Amino acid sequence: MNRLAAILPASNVLVDVDATSKKRAFEHAGLVFENQHAIARA
């Protein structure tokens, strides 16, 4: 098992995301973490 797999659960890995840029990919990742872990938007 690599180091990333040890801290990143499969539920946080999405492979079907249509992101038009790296910025959009990170925005989507932020939304996923906000929704799954009840993290408030800064």
For residue 31, the SS3 value is helix
Domain definitions of the chain by residue range: 3-37
CA atoms within 13 A on the CB side of 8: 11
Q: How confident is the model at residue 20 (pLDDT cuts 50, 70, 90)?
A: very high
CA distance 42 to 30: 10
Q: How confident is the model at residue 27 (pLDDT cuts 50, 70, 90)?
A: very high
Closest listed residue to residue 9, CA positions, set 21, 1, 17? 1
pLDDT of residue 40: 82
The pLDDT of 25-40, averaged and rounded, is: 87
CA distance 1 to 34: 26
The pLDDT of 1-27, averaged and rounded, is: 88
Whether 21 has a pLDDT exceeding 90, the answer reads yes
pLDDT of residue 1: 60
